[in-house]
Amino acid sequence: MLKLNHLDYYRLPWNLTDNSISWLEPTAACNLSCDGCYRKNEKDGHKSLSVIKEELDVFTRLRTCDGVSIAGGDPLMHPDIIDIVKDVKSRNLKPIINTNGLALTKELLHELKKAGVFGFTFHIDSKQGRPGWRDKNELEMNELRLHYAKMLAEEGD
């Protein structure tokens, strides 16, 4: 009988424990107040590294995954984001950061790459009330999306 390795088929989950990406939320803090956001923006809502490590232990024990989506709040607001990425990477998992990008600098990007970040997912839309982008429509937001794409390309692999 043919046995499938679901990790090879990137995202063929059959049940909750057999999903290739786990979700980690190290902080409830965010630097935006988006319309419609379900999260409470808790300025001091950072989980401790010990709690984050415990959650990662649960992922590796109970889940069959190869990636960890690091979200929040905005994970770049967590003061230990570099250590979080290193820990995820040290477990042979792919750290993927979900961010609005507002806190991402070239220096932070460089440090995240050194720590082992696998990828980024940027949430950029016209309902976020971003400073300098408040009255822009979705098409106009492409300029900002391109800015982050270029930043990643300049940093390289």
What average pLDDT does range 99-114 have in this prediction? Answer: 98
**pTM metric for this prediction:** 0.86
* 128-142 per-position pLDDT tens digit: 989 999 999 999 999
What distances in angstroms separate CA 143 from CA 74, 98, 150, 153, 155, one per listed residue? 21, 19, 11, 15, 19
**What was the pLDDT predicted at 144?**
96
* 25-75 per-position pLDDT tens digit: 999 999 998 877 777 777 678 999 999 999 999 888 888 788 999 998 999
Cα angle 85, 153, 11 (rounded to 5 degrees) comes to 55
List, as one string, the DSSP characters of 26-51: -B---S---TT--S---TT-BPPHHH
Task: Name the architecture of domain 14-155.
Answer: Alpha-Beta Barrel (3.20)
**Domain residue extents for the chain:** 14-155
